[in-house]
Amino acid sequence: MSGGPSAPKAASTRLVQALVLLALFGLLFAATRLVPELESQAGTIGAVGFLLLTGTLASELVDIIGLPHLTGYLLAGIVAGPYVLRLMNHHTVSQLTTVNGLALALIAMEGGAELKIDGLRKSFRSLAWATLLQSLIVPVVMTGVFIACKPMIPFLGALSTSAMIGVGLLWGVLAMTRSPSATLGILAQTRATGPVASSTLTFVMTSDLVVVVLMAAALMISRPLIEPSSTFSLRDLETLGHEVLGSVALGTTLGLVLAAYIRLVGKQLILVFLALGFGLSEMLGYLRFDALLTFMVAGFVVQNLSKQGPRFLKAIGEMGSVVYVVFFATAGADLDVPLLQALWPVALILCGSRAVVTWGIGRLASRLADDPPVMRRWGWSGLISQAGLALGISSVVARAFPSFGPGFRALAIATVAVNEMVGPVLFKLALDRSGETSHAPRPSISTLEAAHEMVEAAHARAHPHPHPHTEALPAEEKPT
């Protein structure tokens, strides 16, 4: 923005955005203090509108210093939440979290639709080495780090050595989780194309399946260590098979149904996504299937077993432009700031250790897979963020082990908060340094419009024939 006549205009636009953002926070702060009952009467709809507006404005302002839009969404939620300015109470934030089911459904379907068979085949060697090493080394190392931090973790004081090993194993698997939502959000904003972007997306989406399987196995192994009266049961293996195979089968069926609907009807897809996000997500949880895996398989089927992939992704992008802002802003509002202040020393140790291990394994895997130099340097950068899956696993542990579960979940929330603030910034920096981001001016502030353009560009490279949505896209080929 330096030089040229557009710089003053851009600066004045940013100034207006900053003033509007401050005015919104100031007006609502004054209103909730002068009329305290307004905080509860504003309701969920008002909170959604406020977070959508402030989150979008904040994302544009943090973009000035090179931070990703996700950081702006999170910061807007934190400031407006019940621990800082208290513009929304806990009840309102709790109601807003119902949007998580819809957001995660869209994220999973979009991520699955981004996994193309040709791309998986080309990156199989790199993906295999990364998955193998990350799945074997991260749980072992992080189990050891967690046990070493025992004096700093209050809820571990009364546990025996064997119980400590069991809890450490659970933490080691939790440390493997990544954030598909953060990955897709950064790729949507930057419109990045290249080996770092494509390999990160492929690994993050496929690793969720590995984490689900390993977590079920870790629960089976750790239960006898934590509770000596418990014994290993083959019924747990049956439960694992039911969850994984059933989710894949349901996802395949759902994907075929969605592909047929888009081809034969092709209208009111927003209503279909609402039904899937709010209705089917609850049903899958009741039936003990993994919703994230089910929706990811559905997106994969639509993309690879039909010709409806571009229309499918476009519909998700149109709806996600609103849902994703509210999703991340709500995550910020739900962040327990006092808890993070209390647990920040051990949370920083655990997060730092995980980042160092992820960096080392990423470089080793890239070397063994003979990846290009840019992958060896930056391929690990998108694996730091954590979000929904980590919190979901911590909730499962809290329900399974009431004696220490609440403390375990609290520590997980603190570490996820740190990783979710640092990870997206690091990934965007890596994409910028590797030359995979597009710096062309965007006519809109909508993050998902950029995502749609990125998807259509990828589709144009894979299918050279003209397409009505790709005629205006750049013609030059970028590294994949």
| Residue 177 within any structural domain of the chain | yes
pLDDT tens for residues 363-374? Answer: 999 999 999 999
Enter the pTM of the model. 0.72
Task: Indicate whether 110 belongs to any domain.
Answer: yes
Number of domains in the chain: 2
Residues 275, 403: one domain?
yes
Q: What is the per-residue pLDDT for 174?
A: 92
3-state secondary structure of 404: coil
Question: Tell me, what CATH number does 265's domain have?
Answer: 1.20.1530.20
Is position 138 within any domain? yes
pLDDT at 40: 58
- State pLDDT tens for residues 222-252: 888 888 776 666 666 677 777 788 889 999 9
Q: CB of 135 within 8 A of CB of 210?
A: yes
Query: Is 476 contained in some domain?
Result: no
Instruction: Kindly report the number of other CB atoms within 10 A of residue 423's CB atom.
Output: 27
Classify residue 72: in a domain, yes or no: yes
Q: How do the residues of the chain divide into helix, strand and coil, expressed in percent and rounded to 5?
A: 80, 0, 20
Q: Do 176 and 192 belong to one domain? A: yes
pLDDT of residue 208: 73
d(CA 108, CA 115): 11
pLDDT at 469 over 70: no
Residue 271 buriedness (CB in 10 A; 0-12 / 13-18 / 19+): exposed
- Structural domain includes residue 116: yes
Which one-letter amino acid corresponds to residue 326?
A: V
Q: What is the mean pLDDT of the chain?
A: 80
Which two three-digit tokens encode residue 243? 């969850």
Q: Which of 167, 139, 169 is nearest to 353 (CA)?
A: 139
Show the domain range for 387. Answer: 104-462
**With contact defined as beta carbons under 8 Å apart, do 149 and 349 qualify?**
yes
How far is residue 149 CA from its own chain's centroid?
27
1 in a domain, yes or no? no
Q: Is 156 a member of any domain?
A: yes
Residue ranges of the alpha helices (H) in 372-465?
A: 373-378, 388-400, 405-433, 447-462
Q: Is the pLDDT of residue 302 over 90?
A: yes
- Among 31, 64, 96, identify where a domain stops: 96
Q: Residue 191 in contact with residue 444, Cβ under 8 Å?
A: no
Can you give the pLDDT at residue 233? 63
Chain Cα centroid distance, residue 330:
13
The residue-averaged pLDDT of 74-98 equals: 85
Residue 118 sits in the same domain as residue 16: no
pLDDT at 216 over 90: no
Same domain membership, residue 359 and residue 259: yes
What are the pLDDT digits (tens) for 394-427? Answer: 877 888 888 888 888 888 888 888 888 899 889 9
